[in-house]
Amino acid sequence: MPELSTPRRVTAPAIAAAKHGDAPLVMVTAYDAPSARVVDAAGADLILVGDSVAMVVLGYEDTLQVTTDDMVHHVAAVARTRPGALVVADLPWMSYHVGVDDAVRNAAALVRAGAGAVKLEGGRKRLAVVRAILDAEIPVMGHLGLTPQSLHTLGGFKVQGRDLEAARAIVDDAIALAEVGCFAVVLECVPDAVARLVTDSVEIPTIGIGAGRHCDGQVLVFHDLVGLEDRIRPKFVRQYADLAAEATAAVARFAEDVRTGRFPSSAETYHAADAVSDALRVYGGSASEHAPA
C-alpha cells in the first residue's frame, strides 16, 4: 500500500515552540496566489500578508492607505493556494486603534479570509487589544521597533532603539507581548544589540527585518527579495534575483516580435481545416464584391 504523507501545515503553536529549534525561522511576504505559491514551494515557515502590499503592490507612499477589506482580499488570494506555511495577516492601520471590539471583528475577518494568525504593531500600548484578540482564539504576532503605521509620530522610516531609553522600551514591550501570549514578535530596524537582548529576554521567537543576526528568524518582503521593487533599497535587503530587469527584457522582446511580425508564429496560431479555410476564402471574395464602394 502506498505511504500516505500528511501535507505540511505550520501552526502558530509550532512557530512558538520553534524558539529553540534547529534552524532560524523563515518568513516572506506574499499578497496574491502566484507569490504565495512561490514562497510556499520554497519552504518558508510563514507567509506574511503584510500591509506593505500598500507600497509594493498598490503603489501608495506608505502603509496607512490599506483597509481591512483590502487585506481580506489579499489574504483570501494567498489562502486559496492552501499553503503549508502559516499565513499571518497584518491588521492595517485604524483596524485596531479605535476600540477592542472593532479590533476583534477585524481580526476575525482576516481569519475568515484564511489567515492562521494576525500581526499588529506596538507594545504595552496595545496589550488590551492583543488580549481581546487572543481571547477570541486568534493567535497574535507582535511587531516592534520601526512600526510603519506610526510613520508620522516616528518622523519617518528610521532605525529605532538607538539610545538606551528607547532600547529598554523595546525590550520591555517585547516582554509584555510575550507575557500576554503573543506567539512571536517581529523586530524591524533596530540595532543588533537590541535585537539580541530582546531575543534573550523572551520565550517566543523574534523574527527580524533590519535587526541583525541575533533573532530566531528573518523576514523579507517578497518584492525586495526577488528584485521586483527596486525603487527603495534599504541596506538590510539582500536581493536574490532581478525579476524586474528580466520581466522588462521579456516584454521588450515581445514588443519587438510584434512590431517586426515575428509574433505570432504558425505554431502559436489556431488553424481551420483546409476545407473551411477554402470556403472562407470564397465567402470573403463574394462578400467583398457586395461591399459598398
Binding footprint of ligand KIV on the chain (CB under 6 A): 29, 48, 50-52, 90, 186, 188, 209, 219, 221
Q: How far apart are CA 120 and CA 113, in angstroms?
A: 17
Angle between helices 100-112 and 127-135 (to 10 degrees): 50
The nearer residue to ligand KIV, 18 or 225, going by C-beta atoms, is 225
Which residue number, 61 or 265, has a Cβ lying nearer to ligand KIV?
A: 61
| CB-nearer residue toward ligand KIV: 51 or 229 | 51
User: Would you state the cell numbers that stand for residue 148, as one nine-digit string?
Assistant: 510603519
Q: Which residues are catalytic?
A: 188
Specify the residue, 52 or 206, whose C-beta has the smaller distance to ligand KIV: 52
Nearer CB in complex with ligand KIV: 109/237: 237
The least CB distance from residue 149 to ligand KIV, in Å, is: 9
CB of 30 to ligand KIV, least distance (A): 10
Q: Which residue is nearest to ligand KIV (CB)?
A: 50
Give the nearest distance from C-beta 291 to ligand KIV in angstroms: 60
HSE of 268, CA atoms in CB hemisphere, 13 A:
7
Nearer to ligand KIV, 79 or 221 (CB): 221
Shortest Cβ 53–ligand KIV spacing (Å): 7
Q: How many CB atoms lie within 10 A of CB 106?
A: 23
How near is the Cβ of 272 to ligand KIV at its closest, in Å?
51
Q: Cα-flanking dihedrals φ and ψ of residue 159, to 5°?
A: -60, 135
Q: How many CA atoms lie within 13 A of 223 on its CB side?
A: 20
Least CB distance from residue 221 to ligand KIV, whole Å? 5
Q: Which residues pair with residue 47 across a beta bridge? A: 28, 87
**Cα 96 to Cα 106: distance, rounded to the nearest angstrom:** 8
